[in-house]
Structure 1
Amino acid sequence: MLLLILAYLGGALTILSPCILPVLPFVFSRADRPFARNGLPMLVGMALTFAVVATLAAVGGGWAVRANQYGRFVALAVLAVLGLTLLSERVAEWITRPFVALGNKLTEHTGSQDDSVLSAAGLGVATGLLWAPCAGPVLGLLLTGAALKGASVQTTLLLLTYAAGAATSLALALLIGGRVFALMKRSLGAGEWVRRALGVLVLAGVAAIALGLDTGLLTRVSLASTGGIEQKLIDAVRPPPLVQIAVKAGDTLPVEGDLPTLDGATQWLNSPPLTAQSLRGKVVLVDFWTYSCINCIRALPYVRGWADKYKDYGLVVIGVHAPEFAFEKDPVNVIHAVRDLGVDYPVAIDNGYAIWKAFGNEYWPAHYFIDPQGHIRHHHFGEGDYQQSEDVIRRLLTEGGQKDLPGGYVQPNAQGAQAAAGSGDASRSPETYVGYARAQNFAG
């Protein structure tokens, strides 16, 4: 329920964001008409279309993105025609002449075609295909959840709730705008000029979306306008994520929680199913990873090295494979990756993200260090700090009564994709980051 409220409020805040500007002319193009027959169907069509398209884009893969792109081209053409009809009654009459005759036959008992609920809903569908709200903290949270969990009723419901919040704030603006429009027509006789101005704005909105301004310039401007408010809303309904903590010699390792249940794994590799109870008395390293994540791949040589070095001294390493993409949910793919990457310690396939959610994890890779009493004593996110992580393992083993631990630090000297960042190895990896801002270490 809290997540639904958060999604609704996040959507309502979009009216404060410059990213909404390109679609405002489409919404206000019917501000002078009855809200129930025009504004409401249009906003409902917009909300439903956005929810469906966003769900498909998040979980459907490339085919959904391509299909939506074709839909955007059609929507741009439709709305460009709308802008032209607003600019000139003569153009409107010429464009709509063949449709008016058909519309008169279909709606002769229900009212004019211009006031059709279906035409308003169609305009909403076109707007929903083009609307690209800025991915602030709330929408980012929803889209990440959709990508992680896949297609589900909950995914679509959350995105629909977000769109409903946006539609609510737009409806209020439309009701107010309609009254202002009616007042201007009565008192100033400026209805024709307002209609033409809306036509210009509609064409400007079409141009802005066609040029990508709604997902480019306006997005960068928008993040500063509502991001802080959205982040406060998120922090209010869920605890903030764990932060990285540097451990120095002599520092006391705090208790961060207890090892959660591992019952949610959909399959175990290299081991029968393990439980938190069966691991009591052992030092446990839980490594959240996924096989196409380059950061996970680079960390694996160290995790494998720790597992081999300390397995006879009470260390149990568990790899929790939590997929980031749909193809990583295929157990056959995971089995092949585990074999190819030389992972011989237990691996829990967490396709349902049960273990991920039990830990409250948000990162790949993520390492959680558990003492023999089942308490989480340390965590580390991302690559690096390997000596510090090994020091934590040694300290927990010593606290558990182990003596004469092997000295030195693991130095895997991995090659290829598993080589550490900055090692000078320019071998190709299975993953790359898209965007010039990520290209500072690119070799090619």
Structure 2
Amino acid sequence: MSKEINQNRRCFLGTAAMTIAAAQFGVIGSLKAQPSKTPVLLRLPIEGKLPSLGGATGWLNSQPLTAVGLRGKVVLIGFWTYTCINWRRTLPYLRAWAEKYEHQGLVVLGVSTPEFAFEKNVDNVRWAAKDMKIDYPIAVDNDYAIWRAFNNQYWPALYFIDAQGHIRHHQFGEGEYEQSEVIIQQLLAEAGNNGTSHGLVSVDARGAEVAADWGNLKSPENYVGYERTENFASPGGAVSNKPHIYGVPARLGLNHWALSGDWTMEKQSVALNRANSRIIYCFHARDLHLVMGPAERGTSARFRILIDGEPPAAGHGVDVDEQGNGTVTEQRMYQLVRQSEPIHDRLFEIEFLDPGVEAFAFTFG
């Protein structure tokens, strides 16, 4: 993918967290959140026509869909990539809306536009969709054709299309779930479905899908490949595309990270060359996730994590046990830490007990 695309696309926090993000991470712009327990008639301008879906490189859970064929249906299009934590926290609502409104004329359509190279592998996307219980249609957008047709820049991004094929609203990032559902109800009513319930869904989010602890979130997403990483603190800096023995500084500042042992830092990732090498990260958040996977499909690698030098105990994520033990088996996002309050600056360490692992990005919640 071009450098221009890399600079413009992003996993987006959303309006619910934008005030916090603007102060902490330099996110620009916001929308005023207007949640409502009582549905109200919203003024929804026409933002354009539903672009062609013909650029999809494949389809899952459905035969190919077209803009013309969807006429008469209310359509909710959601751009996603399966390792994006912001999309993962939106997914419970997409599943709930798809189930609740399917027989009232709503089509929820996911557009899988990859961020990392391994997310282009349709087998990985198929596995992720099954693992995350996604039953609605998925357009595989490996060439970014649908992304460009919408002039989209974010994951997650939701586009609400009326029965005449007009885009009537969009939502970039997490949050605004009540307003989004009210818009679905309004578009269904405009389409002549007068039996639409005005009640709002209630979701039971678990694991990585639980909403972030925004009040304690002081660590932004960070990539570990040399193209986009920030605050890399190993002495001597990064050595691009060559095996190198890295060390750890005496102290790590908040949101700084380092490598220890034998690694190759590549454009999108760091690749482990020898076992018993580590990644160390100073973070401040309830949750810590790491996008990683085996370098070769079908293999696995054991790892162990520590928090402030100790096993995580009750602070472990869903992908490790109380002693911090886990196994990398697929190329995906792993939840490694979910701690309880009080939340402080913590020193996270992950040691890989087997070689053949690639790590891509840290995300927090």
Pairwise CA distance, 1:432: 5.4
Deviations 1:384-437 (A, max 9, x none): 11001000000000011101213421111111011122399x9xxxx9546645
Count residues with an aligned counterpart.
211
Pairwise CA distance, 1:144: 2.9
- Rg larger in structure: 1
| SS of residue matched to 1:441 | coil
- Higher RCO (CA 8 Å, separation ≥ 6 residues): 1
The 8 Å contact of residues 244 and 379 in structure 1, kept in 2 or not, is answered as no
**C-alpha distance in 2, partners of 1:296/1:397?**
24
Aligned to 2:157: 366
Correspondence for 1:340 among 115, 127, 131: 131
1:403 equivalent to 2:194? Answer yes
Correspondence for 2:94 among 279, 298, 303: 303
The 8 Å contact of residues 289 and 319 in structure 1, kept in 2 or not, is answered as yes
Correspondence for 1:144 among 1, 4, 7: 7
Correspondence for 1:262 among 44, 53, 57: 53
1:377 equivalent to 2:168? Answer yes
Amino acid at match of 1:347: I
Aligned to 2:78: 287
Q: Percent identity?
A: 52
| SS of residue matched to 2:199 | coil
Deviations 1:182-210 (A, max 9, x none): xxxxxxxxxxxxxxxxxxxxxxxxxxxxx
| SS of residue matched to 2:154 | coil
Aligned-CA RMSD value: 3.3
**C-alpha distance in 2, partners of 1:251/1:334?**
35
Residues 242 and 331 from structure 1, CA distance in 2 versus in 1: closer, same or farther, beyond 3 angstroms? farther
| More off after superposition, 431-440 vs 364-373 | 431-440
Residues 142 and 354 from structure 1, CA distance in 2 versus in 1: closer, same or farther, beyond 3 angstroms? closer
State the TM-score, normalized to the length of structure 2: 0.52
State the TM-score, normalized to the length of structure 1: 0.44
**C-alpha distance in 2, partners of 1:243/1:372?**
29
Amino acid at match of 1:417: A
Gaps of 5+ in 1: 1-57, 60-139, 148-240
Aligned to 2:103: 312
Higher strand proportion, which one?
2
**C-alpha distance in 1, partners of 2:176/2:191?**
23
**C-alpha distance in 1, partners of 2:29/2:44?**
15
Counterpart mapping for 1:2-401 below 5 A: 141=4, 143-144=6-7, 244=31, 249-401=40-192
Aligned to 1:414: 205
**C-alpha distance in 2, partners of 1:359/1:437?**
34
Amino acid at match of 2:152: N
Pairwise CA distance, 1:312: 0.3
| SS of residue matched to 2:107 | strand
Deviations 1:237-266 (A, max 9, x none): xxxx99857678333100000000000000
| SS of residue matched to 1:342 | coil
Residues 293 and 142 from structure 1, CA distance in 2 versus in 1: closer, same or farther, beyond 3 angstroms? closer
Residues 242 and 273 from structure 1, CA distance in 2 versus in 1: closer, same or farther, beyond 3 angstroms? farther
| SS of residue matched to 2:7 | helix
